[in-house]
Structure 1
Amino acid sequence: MNVEYQKYIDVIDRWIVNRSKTVILAFLVLTLILSAGLGMTATDSGTSQFTEGVPAQEAFDDVNDNFEQQPFTEGTGTTTLIQQEQNVLAKQSLVSMLKAQHRLEQRPSQHVAGTNSFAQIVAQTLDSEATTTEAQIRTLEGAGRSEVKQTTREILEQQPSTAGLLSNDLNRKDPSASATLATVTHQVEGLSSGSSAGTQGTSPLTPIQQEAEFVVGSVGSDITVFGSGLISAELSSVISDSLILVIPAATLLIFIFLVIAYRDPFDLLVGLICIGMTMVWTFGFMGWANIPFTQMLITVPPLLLAIGIDFGIHAVNRYREERVEGINPTESMETATDQLLPAFFIVTGTTVLGFAANLVSDLGPIRDLGLVAGIGIIFTFLIFGIFLPALKLFVDTKREKYNLPSFSIAPLGSEDSSTGKVLSVGVTIARRGPYVFFALILISTAVMGAYGTGIDTRFTTEDFLPPEESPDYVDNLPDAIAPSEYTVTKNINFLEDKFESSDSDTVTVFIKGELQRDSRLEELYRINSDPPDSFVESGSRADATSILSVINQYKRTSPEFAALVNRNDINDNGVPDKNLGRIYKELFSSSYADRAGSYITEDYSSTRIVYSVKSDASQEEVTADTQMVADRMRMSATATGSVVVTKAVSDVIAESAYISLALAILASAVFLLIAYWILEQRPGLGIANLVPILLTIAALAATMRYLDIPFNVLTGTTLSIGIGLGIDYSAHLVHRFSEEYRGSVELYDALAVSVRGTGGALAGSMLTTTSGTGVLVLAIVPILGQFGLLIALSVLYSFVASVLTLPTTLVMWKRGGDHLKKYRIIS
């Protein structure tokens, strides 16, 4: 080891073995300070956090702010009532819906500003003076069944747009439908028009809609309350329910494996104290740094457990290797920390780089995950690399002083143990056929990597919601930990199945420019010709709604306005070419002002065009075609709409995944080269360190594609995180090998000792980590289950790859170095 570097290790060693009480006290004080941040941690469970900063979303927000016509202004929110009956158009069902609306109106706490339903339309058609829900109820109750049916039939014939409030199984001739929707608008102080579920884990509409469930339930009809407030509540509760399920299961499994690994209650207690401190430090830091707790950060505790347990087992195991030789505790600990601190430093550096690679993501929650996890790993290094040895030495000293009982101090993976024999398989392969096996490693990595490039990318709100049907194991849980009954996903699926979704069948081009300039409307007209394949056509043009649609509507009702347009239509195509400012002014001073305001701002600086798209067109096709249309504009134009935003986020996820992976590999390679050059003057060991990691990443990517697990906001981080966790295993083995392979020690003897000694600790760490992270499959949210599975697999693959392939890789490193020396390429 480099002497200059060793002196710093010696300083830390002396503090650990000679001033253990001071070290322990200092860490306890830091724990107390950071614990104060636990109460400052907020929660953000919404999905809007993933679209912040995405250009398509910003344009979508601008469209909503400038053009979406609401019956009420700033400070309003809506609740949807979903009624399901054998026939919601039957007289009694219509009355039940009106009663639900009326009872909500009578509750001051509901702040009802207005309601809208098909039942209201029927009642007001029967009696135009029935302007209140109370009067509408009387009107319907006084009407005959045949009269109600005939009125309903006439409404559907004369006002076809009202069918949008009814399910798609509507029978128009003999009016009947199995479901209908009503909208309740609430005037709520402090609620912005852009409020959505998930702001800091709650929505101002949450208590209103929860109360609405109780009120509507008193009607006695099958009416369900649905809205952003209830979505927000379920997004929040699903986090706590997932933690309630995951933490006890992880704790139990980890405890069992730690008992097996440590086989000593004192060592077990020391390890658990360090794990607890790591959590307090990390989440206390989040509070001090004002980083909210999101769904993604549920993954941090299992990840820190993975690294912490690994460090703990290695520290205790290496210490025991010295103790079984009869060496006293102080010298044993000094030897253990002298060897492990550099290894821990390498592991920490590469792991932090793996997480930090996510800081380049354009998605804020992914950046937060990279930051919090990276800081947590540094805390883990400090606690398990310095505090644990000091506490372990202090405890063992007291045990000897007070003659406390001594338990097993045998290290894992000793030479004669069955574990040691199994772990030595890789050494045997390296001894007998390294060239063939190394070629097989390279070919396997290439094949699996190529197959893994076909991973799909998806982003949907449903990723963060509980499944419609709870897993079977949930039904068998005690009431104390059983999760809540979730309804949001069921309601979303019902709405998608039963009602036409105009939002998903349209896209928008948002345009900015000086729209009063000559020929601007001609440009809007021009881009609608020759529509792309995914757009619905009307004649040879795109089926679009814009300010031109409003102009044409007003022309049909106003001869004066029609004459004004015609005078300014140079090429006689119905589109005015000049004096546009006057045309807009006339439009905004007419009864069509509200409609005009839906498509152009009053300062004539922004407009939108809404296109109908084919329902069977893919997300990729719709997005590409909308962008192509936007690119036709000479003015600034942005493709947007829910489909485009979703695709944009999916693209960011995929881009982040691959960029983070590339950065993690590159940064880890550079770090390992420098680290091994400084520590051992053997930079080539850094490259050898990467071989099993590349195999692991390729296998993980291939597994994702085979199991049809897509890149989403969480699984998209697994490849770069897999590097951070995987290098943990190879770095420990390579560093132990570099320590053993010195002087006259034979190559294969050094490999055998390294694999049996460090490999034993790695086996214990792998079992504990895979169980600790694997329990995320119990989380209610499917996205967390996928992430837990992938992290557990990455740890398993890393362990197997390290134990099996590193001996062969190190043999190739040694022989390659010998060849270079032979031909005097290196000295």
Structure 2
Amino acid sequence: MAGFDHERLVERASTLVTERPERVVLAFLLVTAAFAVGLGNVSTEAGTSQFASGIPAEEALSDVQREFGPPFGADAGTTQLIQRNRNVLSKPAMLRMLRTQERVEEREDLRVTGTSSAASVVARTVDPSATTTEAQIRALEGATPTEVRRAVRENVDNPAFTGSVSSDFNRESVSASATIAVVTHELPGGLSSGAAAGQGGTSPLTPIQQRVERVVANGDADVTVFGSGVLAAEFSQVITDSLLVVTPAAVVLIVSFLVVAYRDLLDLLLGTVTLLMAVVWTFGFLGLAGIPFSQMMIAVPPLLLAVGIDFGIHVVNRYREDRDDLGVDGAMNAATRQLLVAFFIVTGTTVIGFLSNFASDLGPIRDFGLVAAVGILFTFLLFGVFLPAAKVWLDRRRNRIPVPTYSQRPLGAEGTRLARALRGGVSIARVAPLAFLVLVLASAVGAGAYATGVDTSFSDEDFLPPEESPAYLEALPEPFAPADYSVVGTLNFLEDNFESTNDGEVTVYVEGRLQRDTALEELHRMGEDPPDSFVSDGRRAESTSIVTVVLDQAERDPEFRRLVARNDRDGNGIPDRNLGEVYDYLLASSASGEVSQHLAEDRRSTRVVYTTKADASQGAITADARTVADRHRADATATGNTVVFKAVSDLIFESAVTSLAVALALTGAFLLVVYRLLEGYASLGVANTVPILVSVAAVAATMRLAGISFNAFTATILAITIGLGIDYSVHVTHRFVDERREHGLFDALDRTVRGTGGALTGSMLTTTTGIGVLVFAVLSVLGQFGVLTALSILYSFLASMLVLPSTLVVWNRALGLDPERPLGEDARSTEDDRTPSGTPSATD
């Protein structure tokens, strides 16, 4: 006997299911009602900022935004008005832009504090007194086309003009195909557009920019609206649209396969209701626990369906195997006795697989792991206790329920084509198990080595829909048709047509006493001999900082120039003493606004913004920015979106590797302990793990072969492969041990792959299809996640059917067990080489 008496617990559960099914069903329905209350509390969270929380580079970026933002009680946000036309610099086109600006300014609910555009610059050139948009419209209306063109030519070197027109601006013909106007909004204090957009994927600019879109749409301008609010809105919209597309498709496909698997309407309805209850419990928990629903959570329902379908088919299939011989109660008692133990092992390993994501430093991945793990526990209770009880209750009344019964024959029954196909692994195990196992493991090692080249990625585009939705999505009827997304197309347009958006930037945040004599010299030296990814001006990096503010002010202000000269001991134009006096002068001058953008009020922190090359990689920019930051003697941190995204990308890879290692280690330990306690053979845990190692290597190699990177979604795939894939090998191993107690080695394997293998086949077909529908999601990375998860299940099924039989034969030989004799009390070996009675036995 095993060292742990689990039979009593299983007996109590089986008795409860068969003797008091009505009470069990009622109790579970009441719990479902309680969890349903939590559904109304579920909030959403989207976007990239949720992943960056707590990262040093992100914290430095938040400090920069807080310390060098506008020094007012209310924060500022901006909206871009993008005009596209054959010539946006023609008089009619510029008038349309100005009138659009005017309509936006007139709406009090848009909280507009100012607007600027190329048209505004040209109008002020025509009439310098035109300081309002209304006056600028009058100025352009009264100007001739010749005067307008002359005003444009006067501004060809004016950054305020050239920075807002597209890169195809032609000075000779005075034409350009696009221009950008900027609308500045006043926001409530503490709700800056950038920071707030990171809170739950929402932005205080979202409702404002949505109203701006309506204002623009009502006009006659060829203008589109863009900004962080529009970006945040699409982050959230893509979740809704993905669920609207994926959920119905999953339901249709899963029900179709369940019809084949159950072949009975009552069983189909019972399995479907139990699946729905699992989803309600899980997302009710989400609301009650206050965990937001993020893009990653879209994958939770398919994962619950995967495990739930597997459990449901196993219960019904195992019950049907004994239904004719043992009757309703006896068949369910036998099914629960055998399956509850298997379900417990499966649940334990699956939960370990998901909870291994707690090793990640990324909050959304930890939340995903927790919710998925809790959902699997709920699924275990529902399919291990509720469904059997409900099945008993229904079958006792089946004759009184006016629903036809089609087939109660189990999948993989003797004589079927499926049974013959499932015996392939057993046939190999009969002929050359060791050679086959060595070949498979060598291939897995090769696949794992190949998989080390998998890339990592993290960007806004991972969370946004494609620029053009696939035709099959566009063809869907309402309400399933996705929205008309514009963000990615607009971002690509800006990158392609505006030089100012081609080059990027990176920030070095410096903390220290900025009034010490050498402070500005040290900042200045940071930009010497710039690295390759930085844009250079001679031998210096192109940058803006408090140093450039000093140099610019000295160039246009003679009095300040003399102040700098008096305090510049080495004559290089950078003051190196009495810096407090220098700062005081700047703050009292017209440069005070520029100072506040680069020097903190307490003069203990500053930022230096470097321009980076458009073609430089995220990794190169981050490495070079950190190199430049290290040149400073004080505490300097490289930051900016590029650096933050690279840091998240690195953490994603670390999460994937760490979660895999933790999942493998804990799953292996769990299986060793469980099989030792329940079956007396710890080494069964090792045999049980072999198919999973093969599956993990195959999934990782497939990622590289298909060009799929580790990203915010796929970072969890290897741990999930362990969590879900172990399901198949556990069911086979546990059924094998049960059969082996009564039959010889190969008879036990044959009965296992036909009985359990039949259920696993139905489960595999249903779950791979149900999860595979994620490929239809609007988010392409979610589609990648769905494909990889479906493949991980397929690989796990194939490994369990083809590799595990040979593994069990090798295990049987390693223990010296007689393949012809059943495992009896006198033949079973234990880990301490002794039976419970003290009689020596074979060593495990």
- The answer to whether the 8 A contact 2:74-2:189 is kept is no
Q: Does 1:475 align with 2:478?
A: no
Partner-residue secondary structure (3-state), 1:818:
coil
Please name the residue that 1:758 is paired with: 756
Whether the 8 Å CA contact 2:425–2:802 is kept in 1: the answer is yes
Deviation of the 1:746 alpha carbon: 1.2
Letter paired with 2:302: P
The match for 1:107 is 107
- Who is 1:89 aligned against? 89
Map of 1:56 onto structure 2: 57
Matched, 1:678 2:677: yes
1:127: which partner in 2? 127
After TM superposition, give the deviation of residue 502 of structure 1 in Å: 4.9
Secondary structure at the aligned position of 1:435 is classed as helix
8 A contact 1:46–1:199 mirrored in 2: no
SS in 2 for 1:375: helix
Kindly tell me: are residues 536 and 203 of structure 1, through their superposed partners in 2, closer, same or farther at Cα, counting changes over 3 Å? Answer: closer
1:255 alignment partner in structure 2: 255
Give 3-state SS (helix, strand or coil) of 1:81's partner.
Answer: strand
What residue is the counterpart of 1:500 in the other structure? Answer: 499
1:182 positional shift: 0.4
Q: Aligned in 2, Cα 1:612/1:232: closer, same or farther, shift over 3 Å?
A: closer
Partners of 1:520 and 1:198 lie apart in 2 by: 33
Any idea what the Cα deviations from partners look like across 1:415-452, whole Å, max 9, x if unmatched?
Answer: 21111110110000011011221111111101111111
**1:442-469 CA distances to partner (integer Å, 9 max, x unpaired)?**
1110111111111111111111111111
Q: CA deviation at 1:503?
A: 8.3
What per-residue deviation string (whole Å, max 9, x for no partner) do you get for residues 38-85 of structure 1? 111111223221221121111112112222458x76243221100001
Matched, 1:147 2:164: no
Alpha-carbon distance between aligned partners in 2 of 1:556 and 1:315, rounded to the nearest angstrom: 83
Alignment deviations for residues 694-753 of structure 1 (CA, whole Å, 9 cap, x no partner): 11111111111111111110011111111101001111101111111125x211111111
Partner of 2:836 in structure 1? none
CA contact (8 A) 2:515 2:580 kept: yes
Query: Is 1:773 the counterpart of 2:771 in the alignment?
Result: yes
Output the CA distance in 2 between the equivalents of 1:684 and 1:608.
59
In the other structure, the counterpart of 2:45 is 44
Distance 1:480 1:526, change over 3 A: closer
> Aligned ranges for residues 314-353 of structure 1 at < 5 Å?
314-324=314-324, 326-353=325-352
- 482-491 or 314-323: bigger deviation: 482-491
1:406 offset after TM fit, Å? 4.3
Q: Deviations over 1:148-199 (max 9, x none)?
A: 1111011113x14521101111112321110000011222446711444474
Letter in 2 for 1:469: E
Which 10-residue stretch deviates more, 657-666 or 531-540?
531-540
Q: How far 1:243 moved relative to its partner?
A: 1.2
Q: State the secondary structure of the residue aligned to 2:598.
A: coil
Q: Distance in 2 between matches of 1:263 and 1:797?
A: 26
- 1:415 match: secondary structure: coil
Moved more, 484-493 or 399-408: 399-408
How far apart are 1:360 and its partner, in Å?
Answer: 2.0
2:284 matches 1:267:
no
| Displacement after TM superposition at 1:818 (Å) | 2.2
The worse-fitting range, judged by mean Cα deviation, of 481-490 and 464-473 is 481-490
Would you say the 8 A contact 1:506–1:612 is kept in 2? yes
- In the alignment, the residues of structure 1 paired with residue 134 and residue 284 of structure 2 have an alpha-carbon distance, to the nearest angstrom, of 55
CA contact (8 A) 2:70 2:76 kept: no
Greater Cα offset, 253-262 or 564-573: 564-573
Is the Cα contact below 8 Å between 2:62 and 2:195 reproduced in 1?
A: no
Q: Does 1:184 align with 2:201?
A: no
Residue correspondence of structure 1 range 269-668 to structure 2 within 5 A: 269-324=269-324, 326-399=325-398, 406-502=405-501, 505-668=504-667
Letter in 2 for 1:739: D
Q: Per the alignment, do residues 816 and 641 of structure 1 end up closer, same or farther by CA in structure 2, a change over 3 Å counting?
A: same
1:699 is matched with which residue? 698
Is the 2:757–2:801 contact (alpha carbons within 8 Å) kept by the matching residues of 1? Answer: yes
Aligned to 2:822: none
* Correspondence for 1:25: 26
Among candidates 780, 792, 795, match of residue 793 of structure 2: 795
Q: Is the 8 A contact 1:49 1:365 kept in 2?
A: yes
Local SS of the residue matching 2:577: coil
Q: What is the match of residue 746 of structure 1?
A: 744
Q: State the percentage of identical aligned residues.
A: 54
SS of alignment partner, residue 732 of structure 2: helix
SS of the residue aligned with 2:415? coil
Cα deviation, residue 363, structure 1: 1.5
1:661 and 1:720 in contact (8 A); partners too: yes
Q: Does 1:785 align with 2:777?
A: no
Q: Aligned to 2:615, what secondary structure does the other structure show?
A: coil
Query: CA deviation digits over 1:295-351, x for unaligned, max 9?
Result: 110110010000000000001111111114x21111111111111011001100111
Q: After superposition, what is the alpha-carbon deviation per residue over 1:188-236, rounded to whole angstroms, capped at 9, x for unaligned?
A: 4467114444744643333332222232233323111112222222222
What code does the residue aligned with 1:5 have?
H
- Paired AA for residue 61 in structure 2: F
SS of the equivalent of 1:530 reads: coil
Give 1:574 deviation, angstroms.
Answer: 3.0
Q: 1:486: how far off?
A: 1.5
Distance 1:160 1:207 in 2: 31
Pair 242,344 (structure 1): closer, same or farther in 2 beyond 3 Å: same
Deviations 1:480-528 (A, max 9, x none): 4222211222111111111124585221110101121232222222332
Distance in 2 (CA, whole Å) between partners of 1:620 and 1:599 is: 26
Partner of 1:137 in structure 2?
Answer: 137
Q: What amino acid maps onto 2:843 in structure 1?
A: I
Q: Does 1:826 find its partner at 2:843?
A: yes
- Structure 1, residues 116-144: CA drift from partner, whole Å, max 9, x if none? 11100111111111111111111101101
Matched residue SS, 1:516? coil
Instruction: State how far apart, in whole Å, the 2-side matches of 1:429 and 1:26 are.
Output: 48
Q: How far apart, in 1, do the equivalents of 2:696 and 2:415 lie?
A: 33
Contact 2:64/2:509, CA 8 A, preserved across alignment: yes
Counterpart AA for 2:12: V
TM-score (norm 1): 0.96
Q: CA RMSD in A?
A: 2.1
Deviates more, 1:481-490 or 1:704-713: 481-490
Unaligned runs of 5+ in 2: 818-828, 834-839
5+ long unaligned stretches in structure 1: none
Show the counterpart of 1:9. Answer: 10
Decide whether the 8 Å contact of 2:265 with 2:404 is kept in 1.
no
Q: Is the 8 A contact 1:568 1:579 kept in 2?
A: yes
Q: Which residue of 2 aligns with 1:35?
A: 36
Give the counterpart letter for 1:19 in structure 2. Answer: R
In the alignment, residue 8 of structure 1 is paired with which amino acid?
Answer: L
Task: Assess if the C-alpha contact under 8 Å between 2:74 and 2:187 holds in 1.
Answer: no
- Cα distance in 2 for partners of 1:613, 1:206 equals 30
**Alpha-carbon distance between aligned partners in 2 of 1:416 and 1:629, rounded to the nearest angstrom:** 73
Helix, strand or coil at the partner of 1:27: helix
Do the aligned partners of 1:503 and 1:642 also contact (CA within 8 Å) in 2?
no
SS for the counterpart of 2:499 is coil
**Does the 8 Å CA contact 1:153/1:174 hold for their aligned counterparts?**
no
The answer to whether the 8 A contact 2:815-2:842 is kept is: no
Amino acid at match of 1:25: L
* Partner amino acid, structure 1, of 2:384: G
Moved more, 310-319 or 5-14: 5-14
CA distance 1:17–1:502, shift in 2 (3 Å): same
Aligned counterpart, 2:717: 718
Aligned length: 823
The question of whether the paired residues in 2 share the 8 Å contact of 1:457 and 1:650 is answered with yes
SS at match of 2:163: helix
Q: Distance in 1 between matches of 2:348 and 2:126?
A: 75
* Alpha carbons 1:76, 1:191 under 8 Å: kept: no
Over 3 Å counting, the alpha-carbon distance change for 1:336 and 1:585 in structure 2 is same
Tell me the distance in 2 between the aligned counterparts of 1:621 and 1:236.
31
Distance in 1 of aligned mates of 2:507 and 2:842: 63
Q: Report the alpha carbon displacement of residue 811 of structure 1 after superposing the two structures with TM.
A: 1.1
